[in-house]
Chains A and B, each alone.
Chain A
Amino acid sequence: MTVESTAARKPRRSSSSRRTSAAKAPQSSEPQLVQLLTPEGERVEHPDYSIDLSPEELRGLYRDMVLTRRFDSEATALQRQGELGLWASLLGQEAAQIGSGRALRDDDYVFPTYREHGVAWCRGVDPTNLLGLFRGVNHGGWDPASNNFHLYTLVIGSQTLHATGYAMGVAKDGGDSAVVAYFGDGATSQGDVGEAFTFAAVYNAPVVFFCQNNQWAISEPTARQTRVPLYQRAQGYGFPGVRVDGNDVLACLAVTKASLERARSGEGPTLVEAFTYRMGAHTTSDDPTKYRADEERAAWEARDPILRLRTYLEKQKFADEAFFTALEAESEALGKGVREAVRAMPDPEPMAMFDHVYADGSSLVDEERAEFIAYQASFVEEGN
């Protein structure tokens, strides 16, 4: 599949003719996107992206999405109870994350932002480890190398360059693994992301840029970041872009798989725009009523990624009542486990802040650590 042929095979209807002011116009509400499962739970075919999953595999995707949502809602609740300082919910983005996450091979490498809890789940990262950052006990509680899942990145867009560099390294080493960089629609405005596209293109890096366009960057709609649909950006850099229904787990899986295959076979980067929606607030500190209408969320609820797969599973009789009941119990157990683990998570030892600052150590850090210890000890001596 070449760049030209991809671009030629997927002509997009421009929606700009209806616009009076393109910069203000909202993104087309009916984007042309790859879809394999409709919001009504009907299976449809797409000429470029076919997928054939067994009932068991379909149930697996459903389970992943349900458990991820349960984990996420538990974390939101824990923030409300004061156990976490902040939480960035993925509510509504389960299909984009599970679909893309399940397309990965173990030897692929993921560079997430701060909302990729579903991808982390697919990578086998213990969900409670994701909470340390948000509780304020660490800056990321897992070893990236053990799951090929990098630390969360809070500076918007930075990780797209790391992913590209990592992919350049993979290509140099001659392996056939691939790299995925996750980011949001807002991130596409960052210079770093543009530079990542440039590097990935000119070095033909085996990287998939997976943009979850959840319509909002805190209070700013996607129209504040771009005049063209985001997937079209790729064309200007010389690699294909594709828009997929981000609430359709099958389409996300199929498109990511195909993009990874391109990367593996030396055809370079792809930009995947998963068109989805952030159903909750940006984070627990955000108040979306200040900037968006309730009706918008209601409209997207009808496209709920979990509901549509459930409808399909039920219609096809791929899952019975016993499956759903068992999953419900599993969800509850997961929630309970996470709750208990978080409450039991100890505060770090104050001295820990002096650890790991330099690989070779530092006389300055040693000196300050010693002062700190002496200072702390002075309280004990005074009996305070």
Chain B
Amino acid sequence: MAAEKMSIAKALNESLRHALDTDPKVLIMGEDVGKLGGVFRITDGLQKDFGEGRVIDTPLAESGIVGTAIGLALRGYRPVVEIQFDGFVFPAYDQIVTQLAKMRARSLGKIKLPVVVRIPYGGGIGAVEHHSESPESLFAHVSGLKVVSPSNAHDAYWMMQQALQSDDPVIFFEPKRRYWDKGEVDTETIPVPLHRAVTVREGSDLTLVAYGPMVKVCLEAAAAAEEEGRSVEVLDLRSMSPIDFDAIQASVEKTGRLVVVHEAPVFYGSGAEIAARITERSFYHLEAPVLRVGGYHVPYPPARLEDEYLPGLDRVLDAVDRSLAY
């Protein structure tokens, strides 16, 4: 068994290395991904080992990066592109939304676009403007795209492998404040399917659903709730599009309560979709309305206010209390 402890950053690096090694069609593209290894060092050492033809430093142009990746994919390559920070994906948004997402359907399935767009996202690292955003629902809303986010090193390794093998475009959101969190990575056991939610903690009183950076917070909240005699189940969604509603439904029909937690603004966020659909599916099982915890409808604030903006332990526990009080 090849289990090893490593950070999420390292797991992504190993995963990309494995892909470059095994599939000559895989390419890595982005700003500073070469010598520097990316600003978060996710591609560290890859250009040295696979050359400038496989790990490509691109001009500083996001529309160009995604647009040419589309062309390369049309030609049979499997590009993995890095967008340096969440707030800089928007120059590429046009290419992603109007082209990458739709070409397969337009071509009646003749065109495959196996492009992975990696985006370090979310707050909590004290960064300046445009470096802490959670734009995932803007992508999940667009059909044709798959949108995923790992929360731990093992998933980071395997979900990247699966994203790379997908013939559909995958927007791969990397929780940047978790890059340095370490965990066990087993590179041999057959992984959970990419879009399956995983129960990361069993419980019977209430279900917390989260993904990416908030999974850790929810696990901490569940542990704290246990001290108060509450049994909280935590589901790591892993995929924001498609969403594993069956898993959420099964959990909710067991616990009767649901709180959805994410960093992105609550308004029109993924929590809204989950709340609505679970209400439709499990109306008679719910003991309380589905609650949401997330960011506010304000521009992501200056770093010194992000602790107030980001859902922390207290806000999650507060929602747990409110749900249980119904």
Contacts and interface: CB of A to CB of B under 8 A. Distances in A.
Contacts of B35: 219, 290-291
Interface stretch (B73-81, B189-197, B299-307): B299-307
Contacts of A350: 305, 308
B31 A357 contact: no
A362 B297 contact: yes
A305 to B, nearest CB: 25
A155 B83 CA distance: 12
A135 B304 contact: yes
Interface residues of A, number: 47
A154 B303 CA distance: 15
A191 interface: yes
A353 B309 CA distance: 9
Interface string B162-181: 00000000000000000000
Chain B: interface size category: 35 or more
Interface in A81-101: 85-86
Interface string B56-79: 011111111000000000000000
A291 B34 CA distance: 9
B318 A218 contact: no
A293 to B, nearest CB: 12
Contacts of B302: 132-133, 136-139, 348
Interface stretch (B8-16, B127-135, B269-277): B127-135
B39 interface: yes
A352 B306 CA distance: 12
B31 A155 contact: no
Interface string B126-164: 111111000000000000000000000000000000000
B69 to A, nearest CB: 15
A378 to B, nearest CB: 8
B59 A225 contact: yes
Nearest to B52: A24
Given A136-B126, A285-B39, A191 B63 contact: yes
Nearest to A362: B297
A162 to B, nearest CB: 15
Interface string A333-366: 0000000000000011010111001000010110
B59 A291 contact: no
**Interface residues of chain B: helix, strand, loop or mixed (majority):** loop
A126 interface: no
A348 B304 contact: yes
B223 interface: no
A353 B305 contact: yes
B50 interface: no
Contacts of B296: 353-354, 365, 368, 372
B32 interface: yes
Contact of B126 (A85, A192, A225): A85
A286 B129 CA distance: 17
A364 B60 contact: no
Nearest to A288: B36
Given A190-B61, A224-B57, A225-B60, A219 B130 contact: no
A4 interface: no
A85 B303 contact: yes
B51 interface: no
B37 interface: yes
A3 interface: no
B298 interface: yes
A33 interface: no
B104 interface: no
A189 interface: yes
A224 B59 contact: yes
A189 B60 contact: yes
A134 interface: yes
A313 interface: no
29 contacts: A85-B126, A85-B127, A86-B128, A114-B128, A135-B303, A136-B302, A138-B302, A154-B87, A189-B59, A189-B61, A189-B64, A190-B91, A191-B64, A191-B91, A192-B91, A218-B36, A218-B39, A219-B36, A285-B39, A290-B37, A291-B35, A347-B304, A348-B304, A350-B305, A354-B296, A365-B298, A368-B298, A378-B318, A379-B314
Instruction: Sort A-B residue pairs by CB-CB distance and give the 8 closest, nearest first.
Output: A136-B303, A219-B36, A189-B59, A186-B60, A353-B301, A350-B308, A189-B61, A291-B35
Interface of B: 31-32, 34-37, 39, 57-64, 87-88, 90-91, 126-131, 267, 296-299, 301-306, 308-309, 314-315, 318
